[in-house]
Amino acid sequence: MGNLGVLERLLMDVLWDTGQSLPANELRDRLLTPAAAAASRKRLATTTVLTVLSRLENKGFVSRDRGSRPHLYRAVTTRAEHTAELMLEVLGSAPDRQAALARFIGNVSPQEADSLRLLLSPASAASDGARETGHE
């Protein structure tokens, strides 16, 4: 899936935070970065936003509803799904997956460790399987 550039990340954050389909101009309006606010409150050009959205569409991050005017853009996946894809991509590139996992687990907080234990427990796995097959 790959990493996102700065503008791509900003646009995706807006889409992920809203959970809605938005036109480019509204995305642009919601995209006032702290640096831009401190400098002069300049907004990005709509053409810049459209270019970044086109790149995101080509990468599979957003879909565009061409049936409306203006076109509406929405995130294809959730932030959590994207994060999981990145983690799996990085883990897949590790020559020693077990060592990478051990290092990762050694750096999580106690609360995160509890979450991992819960997610990996047999009871959790059984209920996940039931949800996937529609038997809960």
**Predicted local distance difference test score (pLDDT) of residue 41:** 55
**61 located within any domain:** yes
List per-residue pLDDT tens for the chain, 136 residues long. Answer: 467 888 999 999 999 999 999 999 999 988 865 555 555 456 788 899 999 999 999 999 999 998 888 999 999 999 999 999 988 998 989 999 999 989 988 999 999 999 998 988 877 665 655 544 444 4
**Residue 112 Cα to chain centre, angstroms:** 20
Pick the last residue of a domain from 75, 93, 123: 75
The amino acid present at 98, given as its one-letter code, is Q
Q: What is the extent of the structural domain holding 70?
A: 6-75
DSSP-derived 3-state class of residue 63: strand
Q: How many domains does the chain have?
A: 2
